[in-house]
Structure 1
Amino acid sequence: MQIGENIIFDRYCWRVLDIQNDIALIITDNVIEHRAYHNKYKDTTWYDCETRNYLNGEFLNSFDESNKLRIIQVTNKNLDNPWYGTQAGNESQDRIFLLSLEEVCRYFGDSTELLYNRGNNRYWKKNDINNSKRLARLGDTCGCWWWWLRSPGRHNRLAAYVHGTDGCVGVNGNNVTNDRGGIRPALWLKL
């Protein structure tokens, strides 16, 4: 297994983002479904959002038992939004999660400088050479689709996301109840 390659795990195709010792960080290669980040329009963090409950409950339980044993529980430190200072809330214990702003900028090329040096930009730079690396299709038949990140947007009724048309990082966020948001689960897998 190598970083950047695709693997089949359980019923999905996954992209390998990182390998550390005997575990690998993987994310579904495609957006697997539409889902709202949260079921109510209210201040929400990853720790208490509906998508986190779904991924670590119903979705996790849909895996084959032997595969489920290979999914590692990790502590996610949820960092505040670096452009707006929006608080990200408590760290969380997750087996399946969405990537954070920091992770999507680090693992899809290295755009961390853009994340931490906003300057006068209101929106993510369209000329970021890594934008196309973040594009993801919706299933096997549709074009590219936007997908949620676990980080907050400019306030806690918005969650960060990746644009579907160009791969730009939506640091400002999208309405947490938008049920057209794409889900790309990520997890650490025992090799």
Structure 2
Amino acid sequence: MEKGDYALASYRNLKPGEYITFGTYPQSVDGKELAITWRVLQNSGSQLLVLSEYILDCKRYHGKRADLTWRDCMDISWQDCDLREWLNHEFYNTAFNASEKQLIKTTLCTDNGKGCPDTEDKVFLLSVAEINDVSETRGKDWRRALGTDYAKAKKPDGCSLYVYDKTNKDNYVIIDGKEAGCSWWWLRTQGNKPSRAFFVGTGCSARSYGNNSIDGYGIRPALYLDLSEME
């Protein structure tokens, strides 16, 4: 699917749990760009909240050096972390063309952590409050996530997506009759210490103790699409 080749008129009728394709991003080991599949989380009639169905990449919440370990985590807020900068610059410019960018709203992000300032973002990670709100009506199964081959590949910054490979069957999904291990993915809310962030585990639970220099957690970008721009 080429960028911009989507049925805009049909977006207004989408229901939570349905899917759209929008933008492109590398998804294979060799970096081939493919259409991004997004899960609709909310449709207010004027805007869509969507979340990437797959984990698209693997990044630290904060820190870029390849030699960083979990012990190198530092106090940081969502406002100042490297992952927020990456989402709103490198990812945003890689994934979307000019026409698509016109449809992406600037979102006021709250629930960034105790004492952490609100932010305005084009692309963001979900917060703890947002995943809990969605789960009240949609359950928790949507939280289980698989990574693309690109997300699993080792990157120059040392990051590569952790894929569950132990014995707990709740941490797998069945794809084409075969078990596939799920992966962890970041939330934007600061964790139980200023050097930590919340993440979603392989069993769907939100955890507060992700050291922000960990190199094995994935990214499921989220954004709001402005339906008024689709007239």
Name the aligned partner's letter for residue 160 of structure 1: F
1:57 equivalent in structure 2? 89
The total of aligned residue pairs comes to 165
| Partner SS, residue 72 of structure 1 | coil
TM-score of the superposed pair, with normalisation by structure 1:
0.81
Q: CA deviation at 1:90?
A: 0.6
- Gap regions ≥5 residues in structure 1: 81-86, 112-128
Take 2:19 and 2:132, find their aligned partners in 1: how far apart are those partners? 19
Q: Distance between the aligned counterparts of 1:24 and 1:146, measured in 2?
A: 24
1:133–1:88 distance in 2 versus 1, CA, 3 Å: farther
Could you say which residue in structure 1 is the equivalent of 2:154?
none
Show the counterpart of 1:47: 79
Give me the identity figure in percent: 33
Residue 169 of structure 1: aligned partner = 206
**Matched position secondary structure for 1:106:** helix
Alignment partners' CA distance in 2, 1:20 and 1:31: 25
Paired residues for 1:132-171 under 5 Å:
132-139=141-148, 143-164=181-202, 166-170=203-207
Q: Match of 2:182, as an amino acid?
A: C
Distance 1:50 1:18, change over 3 A: same
Q: Is 1:96 aligned to residue 123 of structure 2?
A: yes
Larger Rg: 2
Following TM superposition, the consecutive aligned residue runs of length 4 or more in structure 1 with deviations greater than 2 angstroms are 129-133, 140-143
Structure 2: how far apart are the matches of 1:6 and 1:167? 20
Greater share of residues in helix: 2
Deviations 1:132-160 (A, max 9, x none): 33101112696311000000111011100
Letter in structure 2 aligned against 1:7? I
- TM-score, normalization by structure 2: 0.67
Structure 2, unaligned stretches of length 5 or more?
1-13, 25-35, 64-71, 150-174
Q: Is the 8 A contact 2:59 2:217 kept in 1?
A: yes
